[in-house]
Amino acid sequence: MKDIDVIAVLQDPVRRRLYEYVAAQGREVGRNEAAEAAGVARTLAAHHLDRLAEAGLLESGSRRLTGRSGPGAGRPAKVYTRARVERSVSLPARDYRTAAELLAEAAEEAGLDAGLCAAARRRGESLRGAAAPCGGLEEAMEVLAARGYEPHLEGGEGGEGGGGAQEGEGGRERVVRMRNCPFHAVAERFPPLVCGMNLALLEGLIGVDGPVRARMDARPGECCVVVEASKDNEH
């Protein structure tokens, strides 16, 4: 199926809601959960979820959602996660990815890491404009979401997605992780160069003198940068 046909699958509003919900969870989602989140019947949700899987937008599997095994544990349920494959449409056809990879290759061979990071930090500052550095994790999440990073809050007593404080009382420090790297395809080929560029860009975007800071903390399947409370502003 061509990318343009795949993207057309999301034209249906219910199907798109289901896709966006599954994609936002960062884990396997069952039919019942997806149906409840989208406000539709389970049979309708199952139809649309399978259609998304057929189009390659979701990946499907099966597991027991009860967490039990053996006799009486129930039948495995069908679950869905966002597919790792990228889809894009450009009319007329453009090939910015090849250009980005060639530029990254040349920069890496010429040892231009420092110059690239300086340019990225300036670009981040330019995108922030006259605004002050981000005042907290929630504000940082709004900025990151607008740039396509798909941020989510992790840590603290309430676990992922909980609360509004910078740290959970009596729990782990909270950090903002990102399920999407906008530079993923190029970062896979040139990780030190592109991840360093990404960190510098986000430092400029959220600021380096405010109550939050960006730092490297790579984890498989997510952006290599996290945002946390600045050490100078911890209580």
Look at residue 41 in the predicted model and tell me its pLDDT: 97
pLDDT grade, residue 74 (50/70/90)? low
Output the pLDDT for position 216. Answer: 97
Tokens of 83: 């597919």
Longest Cα pair distance anywhere in the chain, in angstroms? 63
Question: What is the per-residue DSSP string for 49-92?
Answer: HHHHHHTTSEEEEEE-TTS--STTS-PPEEEEEE-S------SS
pTM, two decimal places: 0.81
CA dist 71 and 10 (Å) reads 39
Condensed to tens digits (0 to 9), the pLDDT of residues 191-210 reads 999 999 999 999 999 999 99
pLDDT digits (tens, 9 = 90+) for 1-19: 889 999 999 999 999 999 9
